[in-house]
Amino acid sequence: MSVVSLGFELSHCQDPGVPQFGFKVSDQGHFAGSVITYGCDQGYTLHGSGILKCMTRERRAWDNHLPSCIAECGGRFKGESTGRILSPGYPFPYDNNLRCTWTITVNSGNIVSLQFLAFDTEASHDILKVWDGPPENEMSLREVSGSLVPEGIHSTLNVVTIQFETDFYITKSGFAIDFSSSVATACRDPGMPMNGSRNGEGREPGDTVNFSCDPGYELQGESKITCIQVDNRYYWLPSPPSCIAPCGGNVTGSSGFILSPNFPLPYPHSKDCDWLIAVHSDYVISLAFISFSIEPNYDFLYIYDGPDSNSHLIGSFQDSKLPEKIESSANLMHLAFRSDGSVSYKGFHLEYKAKLREACFDPGNVMNGTRLGNDYKLGSTVTFSCEAGYLLQGHSTLTCMMGNSKRPEWDRAKPSCQDLDQLVQASL
């Protein structure tokens, strides 16, 4: 029995195994003349022979090497209603200096939807671009990089082009994308903008949807979009807008918000953002910090009590400690944010409010004289005196009082200091 068994063993080909990212479609056994066929997991292309036959010669061996299953750089899909696209080498890191192009063509009248199963590329350097139709039409659908798995993408044409370009260093695991074809009968859900809201649910041709942004955010694009139908293409015109926290600007209105660029996402590197807050001249500006987090020692927020950076510096803020409320002495405030070339924190979210002035304006100084008193609130006084050789003309003390206009005002005009010699000469 053992002899027979041994002979049996010798008539076998050795089990060739299974390629990585592949499987056996069929396996007749490993005897002389028997055949194994292989296939690859979705998204992988078979290289080599998919059929292995155990040869009938003296030495038992397969007629071909085990095939391999490769995630390739680019490809063409035509007439397939579903499929998968993988970054080259997926799930192992892709190579440097790649430029891979995939085109998906589905039946005319249909559209292509892409669903991301996984996504990880070097942010801002290894970029995946998706076009509606061929790239030369310049109908970009999306440009993505980084480690956030993107939302689904839908074409309006029956062709989609995907391009993946990598730079000369740092590689990641890449991406896996499923595509499918479907028939469009209305416009797609235009989505809800981050940091904004939407009004209107219609998706039929002619329907409109309105967008607005949360306070402090600026609308990029048009607030109103319309569903358009051309033959069997349905699309929004113009494209849905987005809401972004701008880098600086002029802010008016009696209250509002100031956000670091991209807030609540980390602010960009190497940015100079300047804001001017201007409220009605009867008011001052009260600025409260809702959240604050910037890189200590390298990124700063400077706040000035006036229209520009020549005004009095109230403070330079950094780190993640929430500063106290700040108040301007007049109706203008200048904010300057400076970020360096590396490391970004979440940034800041500030709220300002116009507040009725409860103090007189800075009365300033007099020529050839000095002033005593730095408090300008209602009831406070400031006193002027002249240097030796000068004589004070007018009243030396001013009091901040509620004026006829129901606003704090100094009760008298500021005095002046006259040169004694000139006074004597004038009297002669």
Total number of residues shown for the chain: 428
CB of 267 to Ca ion, least distance (A): 23
Q: For 115, left (φ over 0), alpha (ψ -120 to 50), or beta?
A: beta
The least CB distance from residue 126 to Ca ion, in Å, is 4
Distances in Å between the alpha carbon of 3 and those of 10, 15, 30, 61, 386?
11, 22, 19, 22, 126
In angstroms, rounded to a whole number, what is the distance separating the alpha carbons of residues 178 and 116?
Answer: 6
71 contact partners, CB below 8 Å, separation of at least 6: 21, 43, 44, 45, 86, 87, 88, 89, 90
Would you say 118 or 278 has its CB closer to Ca ion?
118
Nearer to Ca ion, 97 or 250 (CB): 97
Q: How far is the CB of 57 from Ca ion (least distance, A)?
A: 50
Query: Which of 170, 230, 322, 372 is in the footprint of Ca ion by CB under 5 A?
Result: 170
* Minimum CB distance to Ca ion smaller for 72 or for 95: 95
Give the x-and-dash track for 122-141 against Ca ion (CB under 5 A).
x--xx---------------
Query: Given the structure tokens 């559209």, which residue do they identify?
Result: 111
* Whole-number Cα distances in Å, 174 to 74, 100, 127: 13, 12, 10
How far apart are CB 318 and Ca ion at their closest, in Å?
A: 31
Residue with smaller CB distance to Ca ion, 168 or 341: 168
Q: Which of residues 120 and 122 has its CB atom nearest to Ca ion in the complex? A: 122
Give the nearer residue to Ca ion in terms of CB position, either 94 or 235.
94
The interface region with Ca ion, picked from 14-22, 52-60, 169-177, 391-399 by CB under 5 A, is: 169-177
Whichever of 84 and 125 has its CB closer to Ca ion, that residue is: 125
- Binding window for Ca ion (CB under 5 A); candidates: 20-28, 86-94, 168-176, 261-269: 168-176
Is position 120 an interface residue for Ca ion (rule: CB under 5 A)?
no
**Smallest gap, in angstroms, from Cβ of residue 264 to Ca ion?**
27
Question: 388 with 396: CB under 8 angstroms?
Answer: no
Sole window of 12-20, 159-167, 200-208, 365-373 interacting with Ca ion (rule: CB under 5 A): 159-167
Classify residue 386 by burial, with Cβ atoms within 10 Å: 0-12, 13-18, 19+: buried
Please work out the total of residues on this chain that contact Ca ion, with binding judged by CB under 5 A. 6
Asked if 340 is part of the footprint of Ca ion (rule: CB under 5 A), the reply reads no
Q: 328 near 352, Cβ under 8 Å?
A: no
| Nearest to Ca ion of 86, 382 (CB atom) | 86
- Single residue of 41, 95, 167, 222 touching Ca ion by CB under 5 A: 167
Q: Whole-number minimum distance, CB 21 to Ca ion, in Å? A: 23
Backbone angles phi, psi at 404, to 5 degrees: -60, -30
Amino acid at 333: M
Q: The dihedral of CA 151, 152, 156, 159: what is its sign? A: positive
Query: 231-247 as b/e, with b when 16 or more CB fall inside 10 Å?
Result: eebbbbeeebbbbbbbb
* Chain residues that interact with Ca ion, rule: CB under 5 A: 122, 125-126, 166-167, 170
